[in-house]
Structure 1
């Protein structure tokens, strides 16, 4: 891979990954039943609507889950990975492996969204605990379903909530130990693992 290919991969990966986060965020917002009147939720809906509208005609929601957003995220991730493989090795590989790698990439991004939401929630709870900022409210709505099981297990320490610490540890264990093992079993090339 020459410098021009590396630069092209960087630019395309950055732009596509930003849109991929927005698409996956739309899935997460519906999953956690976030407030869709929040300005950030409205932005997410408007940014993803052009590509999701035709997919929704074909792919129905299953059990209340926005399967069309999830499918779009997987397709975008697979296309990004195919682009990187084409520029790096001159081939895109076979479709089954590409789909498995895309699902692993989406899973990793899914974990990162919850990680960032919890960090925002923790920082806001220290700096401005009663803030009604749209980003703070959205971070709270996204992270609360992840934190709820830990709050049931961890005792209340007199107003100090340490459940985010255990949630961070759990996400980090999955991200650092389980995901690389799954990527290794799936035969994911290192150039793709660095993308996610």
Structure 2
């Protein structure tokens, strides 16, 4: 049972990472002609585009991406609770778990981005790579 739990938690964490990465790329105004950005957009379009038809953006905030992050985080937490045999928790505990999962993923994303950006700047200073371009936009 623990192997199934590990696989499900890993897949849902990766899904949350990708949707959160799209939101971060939009907020930092990354170049969406970059191959890495295009891959993130292609992966997340099946979830974001139907939401975008229903939820218009508010100013510069893409509400469809924010709702997609919340939806994936709620699904992640619900599956974790179900796999660990926890019943339906009170609403405040549910909210805390969802926001904690989003915060954890966001912090790991930024920490990993900063570490990779520093590592790439040491390995290939002044060189160009699509990953280095995106990381520079997100980290700076």
Q: TM (normalized to structure 1)?
A: 0.67
Matched with 1:176 is: none
Shift of 1:57: 1.6
Q: Does 1:18 align with 2:11?
A: no
Matched with 1:27 is: 23
Gaps of 5+ in 1: 145-196
Q: Which has the higher contact order (CA 8 A, sep 6+)?
A: 2
- Describe the superposition over 1:82-108 as per-residue Cα deviations: whole angstroms up to 9, x where unpaired: 112122234132344323321221122
Matched with 1:156 is: none
Matched with 1:136 is: 132
Instruction: Give the match's secondary structure for 1:89.
Output: coil
Distance (whole Å) between structure 2 residues aligned to residue 107 and residue 123 of structure 1: 24
Q: Which residue of the other structure, out of 100, 105, 110, is the alignment partner of 1:104?
A: 100
Q: Does 1:71 align with 2:61?
A: no
Distance (whole Å) between structure 2 residues aligned to residue 40 and residue 95 of structure 1: 37
Gaps of 5+ in 2: none
- Describe the superposition over 1:161-196 as per-residue Cα deviations: whole angstroms up to 9, x where unpaired: xxxxxxxxxxxxxxxxxxxxxxxxxxxxxxxxxxxx
Matched with 1:52 is: 48
Distance (whole Å) between structure 2 residues aligned to residue 140 and residue 113 of structure 1: 14
Matched with 2:32 is: 36
Q: Does 1:117 align with 2:113?
A: yes
- Describe the superposition over 1:121-165 as per-residue Cα deviations: whole angstroms up to 9, x where unpaired: 111111111121001111111000xxxxxxxxxxxxxxxxxxxxx
Deviates more, 1:32-41 or 1:108-117: 108-117
Matched residue pairs, number?
140
Determine which structure has more spread, i.e. the larger CA radius of gyration. Answer: 1
Q: Which residue of the other structure, out of 3, 8, 26, is the alignment partner of 1:7?
A: 3
Q: Is the 8 A contact 1:52 1:69 kept in 2?
A: yes
